[in-house]
Structure 1
Amino acid sequence: MKPAKVVPDLVRGFKIGGTQTQSWVERDIILYALGVGMSRDPMDTKELSFTYENAENFKVLPTFGATIGSIGAVFEGLVSCPGMPNFNPMMLLHGEQKLEFFKPFPQRQRVTMTSEIADIADKIKGALVTFSSDVKDESGSIICRNTSKMFIRGIGGFGDKGKLQDSLPNVPQRPPCKVASDVTTPNQAILYRLSGDTNPLHIDPNMAAMGGFDRPILHGLCSFGIAGKAVLKEFCDYDVTKFKSIAVRFTRHVFPGETLLTEMWKEGNKVIFAQKTQEREGKMTTQGYVELNEDPQPKI
C-alpha cells in the first residue's frame, strides 16, 4: 500500500529499474535537431551539419543527451518507489535539468544507463524529486551524466528540505552580450515529442486541461535545447566539444507558437542565459548556464 505522504528515507537512493539500454542512429539525431529548431534556414550549412547525415562534418547537438532515457522511466520509478504516495501524473512538471559531458556523442551508439532517485525536497505546494543517471557506451566509458529535477504538485508538506543544495548563478544585472530569437512553431511540441518525451500534457488538450493549462505546453527540454543551440552558435561557432556542462531551471511554461528570447552573458568559462517569451510581457521561462571547455575569460 502506498503511503499517505512522502517517506523521504525510502525515496532517497531508490534504484530505478536496474540497468537500462538505449540506442540511436543518424535519424534520431536529425529528428532531435529539427525538434529544437535547427535548419529553419535550409541554406545555413553550419546548421545543416546537425540535420544532414551526409554532411562533411555531421555531428550531434550536446543537448541531445537529455533524450537518453525517458519520462516514462522517471514515471515508472516514481510509481514503483515505496516511499512515494499516489499522485496525478498531470501534476508532474520538469523543474530543472543538468547535463555533464565526458565525450562528444557518436553518430550511432548503444548505451547503458543506471538511474536512481538522488534526493527529494519538500516545497510545501509539492515535492522536488532529483533523478541521476549515468550513461555509458559499450566499452563501459561514461558519455554523460543526466540530472533531472521533477516537481510534483500537491504532495508537499512532509517536512524534509532535501540533502542537495545545488544553485544556479544569478542572472547578471547588465545588458546581455548576445540575444537569440527563436519563433517556436504551433506544432513544435508535436515534433519534439518524437525524440522520446510522449507525455500527453504536450499534445492532448484534454490532458493539458487536467494539468491546469488551457492548451498543450511546450516541453521544458525543448526550451533547454533551444537555449543550448543559442549558446553553441553565439559562443562556440557550433563546436560541440566546447560544452562541458549545461544546467537549467524551468520557471514558467511556454506555449508552442510563442517567441523565445535567449539572453546570454559571458562570465569566465560560463555563459549564463535567461529565456523569456516575447508575447507574454517578457516573463522569464528558464534560466541557466553553459560551462565551457576553455580558459576563463574576463566578463564581457
Structure 2
Amino acid sequence: MPIDPSVAVGADLGSREFAWTESDVLLYHLAIGAGSRPGDHLTPGALRYTLDGPGLQVLPSFGVVAPTFHETDPPPLDLPGCEIDLAQVVHGSQAVTLTGGPLPTAGRATVRTTLTDVWDKGKAAVIWQDSVATAPTGEELWRTRSSIFVRGEGGWGGDRGSSEPVTLPDRAPDADATYAVTPQQALLYRLCGDRNPLHADPDFAKAAGFPSPILHGLCSYGIVLRTLTDELLDGDATQVAGFAAKFAGVVFPGETIRTRGWREDGRVVASATIAGGDRDGAPVLGDVALDLA
C-alpha cells in the first residue's frame, strides 16, 4: 500500500530554521495581488502591503509560506509511510493561527512539523500536517494546519475523518468584492517558494488532468484573506488572529475570484467563487473563517 497510516500518523518531520525580510513580505503581498488595481498602488491601504518601512504590515497568511519562501525545488513529498505522486496531489485545506501577536516584517524562527492524520476518502487519501513556528527566544509565533488531497490513494478501509463545516448566514453579505487574477499570477507566486510545475508547465498540468496550469491554492487563499481584510477590517491585518479555508476548486490565471464575507459571531465567514465566464459560480474556497484578534 502506497500509504501506511501506521507509519505516517504521528511521524515527526523534524525542524528547520528560516528567516524572512521586508523584501520577502513585499514580494508575497504583490504575488497575492496587493496594489494591482489601476491607481490602487498609490493608496494608503495598498502601501501598507507594498511599501517597506514603519507602515508595513504582514498578512498572517505569510506565515504559511515563510518557512519555504526561498525554496527553488518543487515541494518534496518524501513523507514517512507515504509513496505518492506529485501529479496526483492538490492542496486540501489550510489554516494559520497567530499565537504571538502580529507577524513581524522581518525575523528568524524554527518550525517543527508533525504528520497528525491520514484519512481514507475511498478514491483519495487526505494527509494532515501540523506545524509550530517559534522565535529564537523560544516564544511561539504561529501555528499552521494543512492537508493534501492525494487522488487514487484511498480505499484501504481507514478512517474517513470528520469536519466542521462553516455555515454562511442567510442574508446579504457584508462585503462582496472581486479580484481579477492576472495571466502571470501563478508565475509570480512561484517566487514565494512553491515551484510545483502544475502551476507553470502546460504539459505537466495536462498530465495531471488539467487543460492548463492552475493557480496555487495558497495564492487564492492569500487573495481572499487580503480581500476580506480590506473590505471588512479597514485593511488592518493586525485585526486577523487566524484564517482557515478548504480548497474547493481550481482557479485558472485570467479568471476572476468573487469573495463574499459576513461578520458573524465575533468572526468573519466567507465564500469564494469564480465570477463570470463559463465557470461562473464555480467554488474556489469553502469553509472560510477569519478569526479576529
Q: Does the pair score TM above 0.5?
A: yes
Q: Partners of 2:199 and 2:269 in 1: how far apart?
A: 27
Q: Partners of 2:184 and 2:212 in 1: how far apart?
A: 12
How far off is 1:13 after superposition? 0.5
Indicate the larger mover: 4-13 or 179-188: 4-13
1:7-38 per-residue CA deviation (whole Å, 9 max, x = no partner) reads 2121100111x220111101100000000110
How far off is 1:168 after superposition? 3.1
Q: Partners of 2:16 and 2:172 in 1: how far apart?
A: 44
How far off is 1:74 after superposition? 10
8 Å contact kept, 1:168–1:289 = no
Indicate the larger mover: 167-176 or 44-53: 167-176
1:151 partner SS: strand
Instruction: Tell me which residue corresponds to 1:30.
Output: 26
Instruction: Tell me which residue corresponds to 2:242.
Output: 245
How far off is 1:119 after superposition? 0.5
Instruction: Tell me which residue corresponds to 1:61.
Output: 59
Instruction: Tell me which residue corresponds to 2:129.
Output: 131
1:163-206 per-residue CA deviation (whole Å, 9 max, x = no partner) reads 6x342312333321211110010000000111111111001111
Indicate the larger mover: 25-34 or 101-110: 101-110
Instruction: Tell me which residue corresponds to 1:296.
Output: none
Instruction: Tell me which residue corresponds to 1:9.
Output: 6
Instruction: Tell me which residue corresponds to 2:273.
Output: 276
1:215 partner SS: coil
Q: Partners of 2:168 and 2:246 in 1: how far apart?
A: 12
8 Å contact kept, 1:6–1:158 = no
8 Å contact kept, 1:277–1:285 = yes
How far off is 1:75 after superposition? 5.2
1:117-175 per-residue CA deviation (whole Å, 9 max, x = no partner) reads 11110011110000110011111111110111100001101111156x34231233332
CA pair 126-75 structure 1, distance change in 2 beyond 3 A: farther
Amino acid at match of 1:232: T
Determine which of 188, 192, 212 is the counterpart of 2:185: 188
1:82-131 per-residue CA deviation (whole Å, 9 max, x = no partner) reads x22x3321111001000001221111111101001111100111100001
Q: Partners of 2:257 and 2:79 in 1: how far apart?
A: 36
Amino acid at match of 1:24: W
Indicate the larger mover: 204-213 or 169-178: 169-178
How do residues 38-117 of structure 1 correspond to structure 2 at under 5 angstroms? 38-40=34-36, 41-54=40-53, 56-70=54-68, 76=76, 78-81=77-80, 83-84=81-82, 86-102=83-99, 103-117=101-115
Note the residue ranges of structure 1 that are not aligned, 5 or more in a row. Answer: 294-300
Instruction: Tell me which residue corresponds to 2:252.
Output: 255
Instruction: Tell me which residue corresponds to 1:168.
Output: 165
Q: TM-score, normalised by structure 2?
A: 0.92
Q: Partners of 2:79 and 2:126 in 1: how far apart?
A: 17
Q: Partners of 1:135 and 1:254 in 2: how far apart?
A: 29
1:25-74 per-residue CA deviation (whole Å, 9 max, x = no partner) reads 011000000001101222111211211113x4111112111113349899
Q: Partners of 1:247 and 1:206 in 2: how far apart?
A: 32
Instruction: Tell me which residue corresponds to 1:286.
Output: 285
8 Å contact kept, 1:119–1:162 = no
Identity across matched positions, percent = 33
CA pair 70-90 structure 1, distance change in 2 beyond 3 A: farther
Indicate the larger mover: 233-242 or 120-129: 233-242
Amino acid at match of 1:45: P
Determine which of 133, 139, 154 is the counterpart of 1:156: 154
Note the residue ranges of structure 2 that are not aligned, 5 or more in a row. Answer: none
8 Å contact kept, 1:5–1:158 = no
Amino acid at match of 1:148: S
Q: Partners of 2:228 and 2:199 in 1: how far apart?
A: 25
Q: How many residue pairs were aligned?
A: 284
2:41 partner SS: coil
